[in-house]
């Protein structure tokens, strides 16, 4: 495979935006983002204004006195956390560090344990600054921090113990924040193979976090969770199941097959299940066949999406990705290579930290049918006659599992279908009104 690195900056959303889906996933949480007014403006604009429900996140805005170390960080954060505890009564508070806290070396990890003991409320510190992390890696830092807390405040009931496997070697824990309907779908697909999941990281409530023990099997559902995977392996001594990710019928089948193979379970009916889904996608595949796509790189889902689209008949010119962990995405890369060989097409070049100026030049030259890009480049490319799709939409959509493959192709084909409809319209010239 052809890898390259252009050492461009991360041209992505700020990773503190992970708060948008995490506060909804962990229902008894509160997220306190510690940063400047710029961070607050970003959250307000990027995440929208909640009219009917107050979101469980807030900004702790650093003023000049904070940055110049003239104020007491501990007392200020204590005041805010006590107010949060009084008003919202969460089970856990997450402190999300931003670029400013990194630059001024704010000791959040040192303050949190002392304050946690004083106010008797768990405080989890996660760094999600845009200096070090791309858009979706904010979730990775949060789950990595959460993984280290899983055995501290959890007490299993007898029913919990009975519902999990008594054989410690077969205990499986999945990690990745996905909507509850998708959790149910993936859990159901594994249950059909006789595999029970001991828990998910994150869980819906903080006190429902799974107990993670040495030797447990863990498997991720998203490609951007390499830090969490490393924490589970190194800190918790878990065994990582390196599988392709359950995106697309092909990826979902491969994901389940790999879990089955590690747990010594013979998979049943997976190929038939995959074929049934491909048949349901036929109307979308007809639109995508022989169309070309270019990934500029934004959310680290690019490898999985490219592999699925190649399987669906598209030609992928280039896969830009903000960060590439070849170990964690190793199985996904192998499936991409295998898919290209099956389709008898060249393996696309993969460019880590792409330079967007260079990418725009390449897009002008090859003129792909579709560019999947961050929002900053969508309108300029559209103005130059290039079809685009916002990569952020794949982050917030339900794209995992067999049935949600339709959602992926619906998003991909939408700009192509829109322009096909426009082309069918005949524009009549203005008549002379004199």
Whether this prediction's pTM lies above 0.75 is answered by yes
CA distance between the termini of the chain: 66
pLDDT of residue 427: 37
Q: 158-271 falls under which CATH superfamily?
A: Nitrogenase molybdenum iron protein domain (3.40.50.1980)
pLDDT of residue 231: 96
SS3 111: helix
pLDDT of residue 58: 87
Length of the chain, in residues? 434
**Which burial class, exposed, middle or buried, applies to 377 when counting CB atoms under 10 A from its CB (0-12, 13-18, 19+)?**
buried
pLDDT of residue 361: 94
Task: Count CA atoms within 13 Å of residue 178 on its CB side.
Answer: 27
Residue 321, φ and ψ in degrees, nearest 5: -145, 135
- Please give the Cα distance from 139 to 136 (Å, whole number): 6
Give CATH 3.40.50.1980 domain extents, the chain: 15-133, 158-271, 279-424
pLDDT of residue 66: 67
pLDDT of residue 87: 93
CB atoms near residue 117 (< 10 Å)? 10
pLDDT of residue 48: 64
Which pLDDT tens digits describe the chain residue by residue (434 residues)?
A: 889 999 776 677 789 989 989 999 999 999 999 998 888 888 877 776 444 456 788 888 887 766 666 667 899 999 999 999 999 999 999 999 998 888 888 899 999 999 999 999 999 999 988 888 888 999 999 999 999 987 754 333 334 433 333 345 569 999 999 999 999 999 999 999 999 999 999 999 999 999 999 999 999 999 999 999 999 999 999 999 999 999 999 999 999 999 999 999 999 999 999 999 999 999 999 999 999 999 999 999 999 999 999 999 999 999 999 999 999 999 999 999 999 999 999 999 999 999 989 999 999 999 999 999 988 899 999 999 999 999 999 999 999 999 999 999 999 999 998 876 544 433 334 333 33
pLDDT of residue 143: 97
CATH number given to 15-133: 3.40.50.1980
Is 279-424 a domain of CATH 3.40.50.1980? yes
pLDDT of residue 160: 41
Are 236 and 162 spatial neighbours (Cβ–Cβ below 8 Å)? no
């Amino acid at each position: 495979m052809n890898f390259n690195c252009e050492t461009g900056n991360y041209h992505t959303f700020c990773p503190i935006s992970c708060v948008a889906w995490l506060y909804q996933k962990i229902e008894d949480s509160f997220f306190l983002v510690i940063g400047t007014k710029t961070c607050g403006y970003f959250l307000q604009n990027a995440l929208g204004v909640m009219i009917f429900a107050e979101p469980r996140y807030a900004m702790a805005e650093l003023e000049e006195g904070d940055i110049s170390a003239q104020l007491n960080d501990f007392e200020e954060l204590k005041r805010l956390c006590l107010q949060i505890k009084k008003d919202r009564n969460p089970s856990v508070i997450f402190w999300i560090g931003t670029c400013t806290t990194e630059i001024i070396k704010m000791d959040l990890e040192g303050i949190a344990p002392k304050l946690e003991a004083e106010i008797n409320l768990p405080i989890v510190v996660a760094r999600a600054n845009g200096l070090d992390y791309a858009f979706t890696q904010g979730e990775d830092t949060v789950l990595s921090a959460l993984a280290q807390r899983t055995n501290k405040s959890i007490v299993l009931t007898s029913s919990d113990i009975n519902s999990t496997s008594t054989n410690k070697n077969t205990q499986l824990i999945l990690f990745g924040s996905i909507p509850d309907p998708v959790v149910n779908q993936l859990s159901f697909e594994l249950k059909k193979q006789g595999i029970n999941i001991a828990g998910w990281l994150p869980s819906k409530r903080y006190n429902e976090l799974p107990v993670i023990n040495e030797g447990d099997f863990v498997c991720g559902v998203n490609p951007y969770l390499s830090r969490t995977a490393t924490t589970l392996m190194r800190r918790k001594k878990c065994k990582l199941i390196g599988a392709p990710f359950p995106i697309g019928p092909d990826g979902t089948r491969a994901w389940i097959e790999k879990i089955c193979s590690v747990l010594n379970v013979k998979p049943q009916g997976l190929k038939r299940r995959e074929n049934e889904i491909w048949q349901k996608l036929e109307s979308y595949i007809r639109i995508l066949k022989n169309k070309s796509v270019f990934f500029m790189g934004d959310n680290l889902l690019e490898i999985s999406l490219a592999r699925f689209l190649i399987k669906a008949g598209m030609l992928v010119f280039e896969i830009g990705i903000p960060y590439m962990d070849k170990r964690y995405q190793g199985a996904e890369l192998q499936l991409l290579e295998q898919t290209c060989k099956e389709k008898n097409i060249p393996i696309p070049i993969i460019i880590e930290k792409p330079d967007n100026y260079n990418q725009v030049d390449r897009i002008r030259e090859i003129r792909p049918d579709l560019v999947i890009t961050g929002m900053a480049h969508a309108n300029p490319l559209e103005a130059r006659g290039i079809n685009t799709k916002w990569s952020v939409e794949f982050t917030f959509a339900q794209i995992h599992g067999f049935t949600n493959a339709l959602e992926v192709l619906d998003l991909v084909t939408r700009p192509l279908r829109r322009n096909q409809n426009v082309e069918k319209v005949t524009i009549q010239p203005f008549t002379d009104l004199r």
